């Protein structure tokens, strides 16, 4: 039996000798490569934190000491060391989550996988420990250097520094990357810390020089003090943290368990806020990841463990179409600029960045700043395109509302992975955007259904210069084009079915990618003698008057969307129909207002009766009533 199998809790880990701890690290790396290659998941980040996580659990006592992982995608090693070694169904329904999960273990605290939040969580827990008199407990927050580009992290640091009695250890896992190389002033600061010799060495030289010239008098000490003050910010940029009142330890080799343990023990003994700066290598120990400059191994699907190549090649997808079209728009429109929040490649802006490097801005993990800086760019004569995952726009709602919409700024938000994403769990399903954005005055929102409508929507969005515009699309591959057979004032009609002698006319409204489902429902209803019209409006906000009018021409309306049913686009159509005095019933089909556990998209669709057979049965039941 290997060492890993003998570790059922952190107590087992603390009984290992240093040599055994190193052996365990090698076993864990092999386990991660073999397991994650079968299921998919965040491979690179976890390979980089093996020794760090072992050191944390050997020095601190979880769960009495609280471990908080920022974003949580680097928590696989933590799971292994806390008794969760069945990775067979990682990120699949009824298997382990790809992030910390309170349902799995008392060692897990923060489930939200949005970045830059860990320090605020840690600050709150540490404050509570002080109030409750729990002076023997520590809080350990682990965050990547990329998370320090987020504004919340600095709000937390400002507050942490005000509590010198809080037993709080901030571990900065510095690998120079988030999804891509970390950018901005913080990245430069950490670069300096990695490569600059400590100023204590320079001071030692100064002291030796003074001593050789005789007993130092007051003037000599004054000179030495001036030397120290003058060089501190040059060769000891850790002073930025210490000036805030946070003790700094590091940089520490994050792949040396002994060095990590010594640094963490010193931090634990200090009795106040300490920042431990740990240098790690993302993808450590796995040659394909170490040699990959594009960071493909941050998150992987199923891969061949020997080569790192995908088991199944990726199909042509929505992101690829956006990437192609935004470059074409960039050539035609020199005023169009692109903004990303540390995700240039994942959201499809890498080709734009290559074509127009001076018009591409990576702001780090700072969606709020992205939105408001875009408003400033719009004021100054540009048209910014802000590309984000849909779930991350939640973080910038106030900026969309008060900085962009209130000021009638022409800013386009492109939301990748909108709707059901599945295996990343509750915090990554992009299901909130339409219900959230429908209350923003003047906002235009498009939900294209295929490649032609996505390209057209992008072109129209960048032409809107007096209000925010949003284009949303799902994760994954793109289906075949769904051509319209008719268009009524901008509302596309995809199908009309009249079996003959039908007594009820049903309007099926497919929002975005759910247009395919609407067509399938139409076929099923036609087989039961129900006449149907399938509409697929690309632009759903503001609500098209033509869609309201079309609703009044039918006896029953069914809206199908991959966002919230409550407060979503279907609900808005029902409100508009009622305001127009229409007696047509509007039945909304969408997701519940609930957090959805990790599962495949198909499983989530089935569980929430969003598949065509379930919708058709529900419609027939409603008509019968």
Residues 6+ positions from 389 with CB-CB distance below 8 Å: 343, 346, 347, 415, 416, 417, 428, 430
230 labelled binding-site residue: no
Residues 6+ positions from 383 with CB-CB distance below 8 Å: 333, 335, 336, 337, 410, 411, 412, 462, 465
57 labelled binding-site residue: no
554 labelled binding-site residue: no
> Angle at CA 156, nearest 5°, toward 153 and 159?
155
115 labelled binding-site residue: yes
DSSP assignments along 288-330, one per residue: HHHT-SS-TTSSB-SB-TTT--BSSPPPPBHHHHHHHHHHHHH
Distance between CA atoms of residues 467 and 471, nearest Å: 13
Bridge partners (DSSP) of residue 385 are: 338, 412
Selecting among 51, 261, 367, 520, the annotated active-site residue is 367
469 labelled binding-site residue: no
Q: Which residue is listed with tokens 């769904």?
A: 482
304 labelled binding-site residue: no
Half-sphere exposure (CA, 13 Å, Cβ side) for 361? 19
Whether omega before 251 lies within 30 degrees of 0, making that bond cis, reads yes
Q: Which residue is listed with tokens 């790690």?
A: 280
Distance between CA atoms of residues 284 and 47, nearest Å: 5
Bridge partners (DSSP) of residue 172 are: 143, 277
286 labelled binding-site residue: yes
23 labelled binding-site residue: no
107 labelled binding-site residue: no
Task: Report the DSSP pairing between strands 139-144 and 66-69.
Answer: parallel
Strand (E) positions, 132-216?
139-144, 168-174
Q: CB 382: neighbour CB atoms within 10 A?
A: 18
CA quadruple 270, 273, 278, 283: dihedral positive or negative?
A: positive
DSSP assignments along 504-524, one per residue: -EEEEEE-GGGHHHHHHHHHH
175 labelled binding-site residue: yes
Tell me, yes or no, if 104 is annotated catalytic. no
Selecting among 92, 296, 395, 601, the annotated active-site residue is 395
Distance between CA atoms of residues 464 and 460, nearest Å: 7
Tell me, yes or no, if 451 is annotated catalytic. no
Inter-helix orientation angle 257-270/18-39, to 10°: 100
Selecting among 84, 282, 438, 449, the annotated active-site residue is 282
Tell me, yes or no, if 268 is annotated catalytic. no
Residue 194 near residue 174, CB atoms below 8 Å: yes
Q: CB 606: neighbour CB atoms within 10 A?
A: 14
Active site residues: 282, 367, 395
Q: Binding site: which residues? A: 73, 113-115, 145-147, 175, 286, 367
Name the binding residues for Mg(2+). Answer: 145, 175
Going by the annotation, the residues of the binding site for thiamine diphosphate are: 73, 113-115, 146-147, 175, 286, 367
């Amino acid at each position: 039996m290997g060492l890993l199998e003998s570790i059922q809790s952190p107590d087992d880990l603390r009984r290992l000798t240093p040599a055994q701890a190193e052996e365990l690290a090698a076993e864990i790396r092999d386990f991660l490569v073999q397991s994650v290659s079968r299921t998919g998941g965040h491979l690179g980040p976890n390979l980089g934190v093996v020794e760090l996580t072992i050191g944390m659990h050997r020095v601190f006592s979880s769960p009495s000491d609280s471990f908080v992982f920022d974003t949580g995608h680097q928590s696989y090693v933590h799971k292994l060391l806390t008794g969760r070694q069945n990775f067979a169904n990682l990120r699949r329904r009824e298997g382990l989550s790809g992030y910390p999960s309170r349902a799995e273990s008392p060692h897990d605290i923060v489930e939200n996988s949005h970045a830059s939040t860990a320090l605020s969580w840690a600050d709150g827990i540490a404050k509570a420990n002080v109030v409750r008199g729990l002076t023997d407990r520590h809080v350990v927050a682990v965050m990547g250097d990329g998370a320090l580009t987020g504004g919340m992290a600095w709000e937390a640091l400002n507050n942490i520094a005000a509590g010198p009695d809080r037993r709080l250890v901030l571990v900065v896992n510095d690998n120079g990357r988030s999804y891509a190389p970390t950018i901005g002033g913080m990245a430069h600061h950490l670069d300096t810390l990695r490569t600059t010799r400590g100023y204590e060495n320079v001071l030692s030289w100064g002291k030796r020089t003074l001593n050789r010239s005789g007993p130092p008098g007051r003037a000599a000490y004054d000179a030495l003090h001036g030397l120290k003050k003058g060089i501190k910010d040059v060769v000891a940029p850790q002073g930025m943290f210490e000036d805030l009142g946070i003790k700094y330890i590091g940089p520490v080799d994050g792949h040396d368990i002994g060095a990590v343990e010594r640094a963490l023990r010193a931090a634990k003994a200090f009795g106040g806020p300490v920042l431990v700066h740990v240098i790690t290598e993302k993808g450590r120990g796995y040659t394909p990841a170490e040699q990959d400059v594009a960071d493909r191994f941050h998150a992987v699907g199923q891969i061949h463990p020997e080569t790192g190549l995908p088991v199944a090649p990726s199909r042509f997808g929505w992101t690829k179409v956006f990437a192609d079209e935004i470059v074409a728009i960039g050539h035609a429109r020199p005023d169009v600029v692109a903004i990303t929040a540390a995700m240039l490649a994942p959201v499809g802006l890498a080709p734009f960045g290559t074509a127009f490097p001076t018009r591409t801005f990576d702001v780090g993990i700072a969606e709020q700043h992205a939105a408001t800086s875009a408003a400033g760019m719009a004021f100054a004569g540009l048209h910014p395109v802000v590309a984000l995952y849909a779930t991350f726009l939640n973080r910038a709602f106030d900026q969309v509302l008060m900085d962009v919409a209130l000021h009638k700024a022409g800013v386009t938000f492109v939301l990748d992975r909108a709707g059901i994403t599945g295996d990343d769990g509750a915090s990554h399903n992009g299901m909130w955007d339409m219900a959230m954005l429908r209350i923003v005055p003047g906002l235009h929102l498009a939900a294209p259904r295929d490649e032609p409508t996505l390209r057209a929507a992008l072109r129209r969005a960048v032409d809107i210069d007096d209000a925010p515009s949003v284009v949303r699309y799902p994760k994954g591959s793109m289906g075949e084009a769904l051509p319209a057979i008719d268009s009524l004032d901008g509302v596309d009609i995809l199908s009309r079915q009249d079996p003959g002698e039908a007594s009820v006319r049903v309007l099926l409204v497919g929002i975005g990618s759910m247009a395919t489902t609407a067509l399938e429902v139409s076929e099923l209803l036609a087989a039961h003698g129900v006449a149907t019209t399938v509409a697929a409006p690309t632009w759903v906000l503001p609500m098209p008057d033509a869609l309201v009018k079309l609703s009044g021409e039918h006896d029953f309306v069914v809206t199908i969307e991959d966002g919230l049913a409550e407060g979503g686009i279907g609900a808005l159509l029902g409100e508009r129909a009622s305001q127009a005095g229409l007696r047509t019933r509007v039945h909304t089909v969408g997701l519940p207002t609930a957090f959805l556990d990790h599962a495949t998209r198909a499983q989530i669709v089935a569980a929430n009766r969003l598949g065509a057979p379930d919708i058709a049965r529900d419609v027939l039941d409603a008509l019968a009533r």
